[in-house]
Amino acid sequence: MRKSEKIITRVSIVLVFLSIFAAAFVDGRAIVAGEFVLIATFGALELSDYLHKRKEKKMKWKRKPKGKSQRTNRAKLIAKLDKVFSLYIRLRDSENGVFRCISCGKYKRFEQADCGHYVNRQHMSLRYSEMNCNAQCRHCNRFLEGNIQGYRRGLIAKYGEPQVELLEAMQNKTCKISEFELQEMIKYYQMKVNELKN
């Protein structure tokens, strides 16, 4: 029951009882009828509230388990893949513990590397794109809002302008990655990380 429906129900209950009260008053038994009307009105309001809450509780209970467990599992897989994918990108772009930031071009130590997304990672179609993700220094990634102009120049130098334009064109593609795909990608990047570490 929506809030507006609840208010309408309450008002109608009160009106019904007020009309009974008015009729009783004309009859000359106002006091007894008045008490009866008040008790009945509050009783009815409480009952309607109780029924409303019970209905809401039931609906919540029905919705919760399925949706919540699915979301949690999927969110866990995404978090796990983010972690291993980020490590892969940082290792891929480093040599002897040093990397070159895609945006500012400075050489820094591996510990200073973030996995920076050119197209924001909210776009699932490019969240795990090896071209869209590159080692970026913490300063550019966290304090310069990704240093996007520098990032674009760095990408063009690394992959060429046509590839970068293709990447930009793909950012609005809708993409739903299944849990199975997420699991397979976790395994794949875990393997790649192990190869690079050895």
For residues 186 and 83, what is the distance between their CA atoms, to the nearest angstrom?
A: 9
Closest CA to 131 of 169, 163, 104: 163
Binding segment (CB under 5 A) for Zn ion, from list 65-73, 75-83, 129-137, 184-192: 129-137
Given candidates 37, 91, 101, 119, which one binds Zn ion under the rule CB under 5 A?
A: 101
Q: For 123, left (φ over 0), alpha (ψ -120 to 50), or beta? A: beta
Given candidates 89, 119, 140, 193, which one binds Zn ion under the rule CB under 5 A?
A: 140
What value, to the nearest 5°, has the Cα angle with vertex 133 and ends 128 and 139? Answer: 135
Binding segment (CB under 5 A) for Zn ion, from list 45-53, 76-84, 102-110, 120-128: 102-110
Task: For Zn ion, give the closer residue by CB, 101 or 119.
Answer: 101
Binding segment (CB under 5 A) for Zn ion, from list 11-19, 32-40, 138-146, 180-188: 138-146
For residues 158 and 118, what is the distance between their CA atoms, to the nearest angstrom?
A: 13
Given candidates 103, 115, 167, 192, which one binds Zn ion under the rule CB under 5 A?
A: 103
